[in-house]
Amino acid sequence: MEGRPAAQPVHTHPALNGLLQMQTGATYGVTAASLAALLMAGPSSEGAWCAVVGTDELGVEAAAMVGVDLNRVVMVPNPGEPWLEVVAALADVLGVVVVRPPVGQASPKDVSRLSARLRTRGSILVVWGEWPRCDARLGLTDVEWHGAGWGHGHLAARQATVQVSRGTAPAVHRRLWLPDVALGVRPAEVVSLRSIS
Amino acid sequence: MVVWCPDWPVMGPQEGLPAGTAVAVFDHGVVLACNPSARADGVRRGMRRRDAQSRCPHLVVADHRPEADARTFEDVLVAIEGLSPGVAPLRPGLCALRVPGRKFYGGEAEAAAVIAERLVDLGVWDVRLGVADGLFAADRAARRALAQDVLIVPPGEAAAFLADLPIEALEAPDLVSLLRRMGLTTLGAFARLSPADVHTRFGSHGALLHRYARGLDPHPISRRTVPPELTAVLALEPPLDNAESVAFSLRTTAERFVADLAAHGLVCTTVRIEVDSVPHCANQASQREVPPGVLAGTRSWVHPRWFGATDLIDRVRWQLSAGVTGAVDAVRLIPDVVEPLSDHADSLFGGTPSDRVVRGIARVQGMVGHEGVLAVGVQGGRGPADRTLASPWGEQPGAVRPADRPWPGRIPAPAPATVFTRPSEAMVVGAEGQPVMVTGRGAVSCPPERFRSSSNAPWQRVASWAGPWPIEELWWDDAMAARRIARFQVVGVDGSAWLMVIENGRWFTEAKYD
């Protein structure tokens, strides 16, 4: 669509403030389902529709707890051979498409055509898995679960370092409660890892 | 004239059971209706389930389904309407009409006989008719008639007929109990009171019942209007082989179907599509004389909002591509559920998916099939996979377990972010490498020391663990459904957390907290 700015900022989950500002037409790679749900949560709370393609393993209850509105989520667990066409068709109309691509099947040519389509349609692609080219990649390190003991208690909260890397720039980190005991996601108060390194 | 089919709610449940089976229909735990065999064993209306079953242990218990009753009674109404227009349905099992064509049938008794015969043809054995001046008197007359017979109260004698009936015939329990205590045991005694006194003492409802008792009926029969024919049929001559060309030909029919409904202020939310087809061989054998098509496929489709013309064409195309053999001869669109248009009007601030989204998702359904696109939600359950609700996009989910119940034995929040559809086989061992087991009382044989999450994952040490959450599901069911399992949360030293389950000594990974 002519006249539209190439990328517009999209509402992002407050826990990622200053770490990542999502933009329309962008592709984000994640390594964990909870990060995919976290990226869906921002636009979904603003009324965007989301699709999950290529997997039925995303825990919908966990996604709902992060803030994804399940009434506006569709799943295509087994898109089969035309999975790229399905992603493109969904990206035409929905705000966020989460895809778990089949291993080694995304050729750079298809990827660049898809990202051109994302830019014209103003949609966001979240890739859970391998992808040749991403605007930003999110990963989890130093995961630390709280609540479970040695045969007592139960998993209640988790602290993890979210690492966002863009291209060749140095990665930025933040320690997050993902989730905290009240099932919310918020930054954890710890010493900045950057000052240590 | 009143047509009464006794024990109508029992008709549906007793269909297909051997004759003589005692059947009773329960509503809110008390007997609403029962059939003669149950009545012979002492089951009565208003009896509690436990009492009814103690008197008649072989009683077949069915729940009351008012919609189904009304729907099956519709057949009776249509049959009577075929003989005489203007039937007033009073409730399922009971309807009233004016005595049809005195000259045509030759009299009231003859007309009643024709109606009774028509209904017996329909399979309704027990039908009783009453003819009188007013609706109330005719209703009472039908109650006193024999099966497949009519009781006629001559004109002007309604009051005399009613005078002998017990006061309970009024069917107003509060008033009846009071009148009984006042010594009025028959309708005749009640009718002899002065209307002004009755109105002063019992109010307008009492005055109305008093008029009934005197054989005066203020309510004329309000006839129902015959429901409009909304089914749309597309007949194809010659029959077509190709789903696309059928869909193309269907456009006008589908648009007319939607427009007809809209003209009545209705929209269709469930449609049944019936397809007739002609087998290939028959088509080739005789070109000139095409045999009539046979019903090749029928299916109900549900729409989250309502069906537009393009939605209908899509459904027909999917149904045809799903497997109709032979050339298509006719397509019928039958509205199963229609709702008022006003209930579905677009609200000012949205709330329903925009047309763009609906069209886009329909396009994806065209690529991967109707069941390929799922709407998701959360329902009740103990395991993480049980708590996921997935139904084909555009269909209302069937049996949904309520999520707000306690579900004892379920794992406390937070929920795992990855739920494996097919649990992978895992291993959990204790300090000496012996497999960790759970006894029947939920005790763990030894604390887990090392585990691997799937058969090809590397072994790692356990950092912490929680559990077990033992669950004995459906233990009363001898078949496959019965399970005795125990769930554990296991955290590895690398920080990964898993939800594992042990069943019959074998470990599986159900979900990952990632």
* Average pLDDT for B17-26: 83
Whether residue B205 lies inside any domain: the answer is yes
Looking at residue B287, its pLDDT comes to: 47
Residues of B in contact with A73 (CB under 8 A): 375-376
Residue B488 pLDDT grade (very low, low, confident, very high; cuts 50, 70, 90) = very high
Contact B372, A79 (CB under 8 A): yes
Q: Which CATH class is domain A14-128?
A: alpha beta
Q: Does B410 touch chain A (CB under 8 A)?
A: no
Statement: the pTM of the whole predicted model exceeds 0.90: no
Question: Which among A93, A140, A153 is the nearest to B357, CB-wise?
Answer: A93
24-83 in A: which are within 8 Å (CB) of B?
A: 32-34, 37, 49, 56-65, 70-80, 82
Q: Mean pLDDT highest for which of B206-210, B294-298, B384-388, B506-510?
A: B506-510
CATH code for the domain of B266: 3.30.1490.100
Same domain, B114 and B169: no
Whether residue B505 lies inside any domain: the answer is yes
The domain boundary, picked from B344, B365, B395, lies at B344
Looking at residue A5, its pLDDT comes to: 53
Looking at residue B344, the DSSP 8-state letter turns out to be G
Long-range own/partner contacts, residues B439-448 (CB < 8 A, 24 or more apart): B440/B484, B442/B468, B442/B470, B442/B486, B444/A151, B444/B468, B447/A150, B447/A151, B448/B488, B448/B490
Lowest-confidence segment of A114-118, A133-137, B367-371, B434-438 by average pLDDT: B367-371
Same domain, B138 and B54: yes
Residue B416 pLDDT grade (very low, low, confident, very high; cuts 50, 70, 90) = very high
* Average pLDDT for B271-286: 69
Q: Does B319 touch chain A (CB under 8 A)?
A: no
Cα dihedral B302, B308, B312, B313, rounded to 10, equals: -150
* Average pLDDT for B185-190: 88
Whether residue B221 lies inside any domain: the answer is no
Whether residue B220 lies inside any domain: the answer is no
B225: Cβ contacts below 8 Å, ≥ 6 apart = none
Looking at residue B285, its pLDDT comes to: 45
Tens of pLDDT, residues A158-187? 999 999 998 888 889 899 998 888 888 888
Rounded to the nearest angstrom, the minimum Cα separation between A18 and chain B is: 23
Tens of pLDDT, residues B433-473? 899 998 888 889 999 999 998 888 899 999 999 988 988 87
Residue A132 pLDDT grade (very low, low, confident, very high; cuts 50, 70, 90) = confident
Same domain, B168 and B294: no
Same domain, B426 and B494: yes
75-114 in A: which are within 8 Å (CB) of B?
A: 75-80, 82, 85-86, 89-90, 92-94
Whether residue B399 lies inside any domain: the answer is no
Looking at residue B418, its pLDDT comes to: 92
CATH code for the domain of B82: 3.40.1170.60
* Average pLDDT for B402-412: 85
Same domain, B25 and B100: yes
3-state DSSP assignment of residue B58:
coil
State which H helix or E strand residue A99 sits in: strand A96-99
* Average pLDDT for B405-416: 87
Residues of B in contact with A157 (CB under 8 A): 414
Residues of B in contact with A46 (CB under 8 A): none
Please tell me the distance from the alpha carbon of residue A55 to that of residue A100, in angstroms, as a whole number.
6
Looking at residue B283, its pLDDT comes to: 47
The domain boundary, picked from B344, B372, B391, lies at B344
Residues of chain B with pLDDT > 70: what percent? 90
Whether residue B356 lies inside any domain: the answer is no
Q: Does A181 touch chain B (CB under 8 A)?
A: no
Please tell me the distance from the alpha carbon of residue A37 to that of residue A27, in angstroms, as a whole number.
15
Give the number of beta-carbon pairs within 8 Å between A and B.
152
pLDDT at B481 over 80: no
Looking at residue B100, its pLDDT comes to: 75
Looking at residue A97, its pLDDT comes to: 94
Whether residue B46 lies inside any domain: the answer is yes
pLDDT at B267 over 90: no
Average pLDDT taken over every residue of chain A: 87
Question: Which among B367, B497, B514 is the nearest to A85, CB-wise?
Answer: B367
Rounded to the nearest angstrom, the minimum Cα separation between B367 and chain A is: 7
Residues of A in contact with B417 (CB under 8 A): 32-34, 37, 58-59, 62-63
Rounded to the nearest angstrom, the minimum Cα separation between B497 and chain A is: 8
Total domains in chain B come to: 4
Same domain, B300 and B266: yes
* Average pLDDT for A108-130: 89
Looking at residue A4, its pLDDT comes to: 54
* CA-based R_g, chain A, Å: 17
Q: Do A89 and B388 touch (CB under 8 A)?
A: no
* Average pLDDT for B480-502: 87
Please tell me the distance from the alpha carbon of residue B64 to that of residue B7, in angstroms, as a whole number.
12
B5 φ, ψ to 5°? Answer: -110, 105
The domain boundary, picked from B103, B118, B152, lies at B152
Whether residue B109 lies inside any domain: the answer is yes
Name the residue range of residue B181's domain: 158-213
Per-residue HEC secondary structure of B121-138 comes to: HCCCCCCEEEECCCHHHH
Contact A187, A15 (CB under 8 A): yes
Residue B226 pLDDT grade (very low, low, confident, very high; cuts 50, 70, 90) = low
Same domain, B99 and B132: yes
* Average pLDDT for A108-131: 89
Tens of pLDDT, residues A144-156? 999 998 888 999 9
Residues of A in contact with B513 (CB under 8 A): 145, 155, 158
Report ipTM (2 d.p.): 0.90
Tell me how long chain B is. 514
Q: Do B360 and A153 touch (CB under 8 A)?
A: no
Same domain, B440 and B483: yes
Chain B interface test: which of A58, A69, A74 (most B C-beta within 10 Å): A74
Same domain, B180 and B286: no
The DSSP-derived string for B460-499 is EEEEEEEEEEEEEESTT--STT-EEEEEEEEEETTS-EEE
Tens of pLDDT, residues B305-321? 778 888 888 888 888 87
Listed by start position, the domains of chain A span 14-128, 137-196
Which residue has better confidence, B341 or B192?
Answer: B192
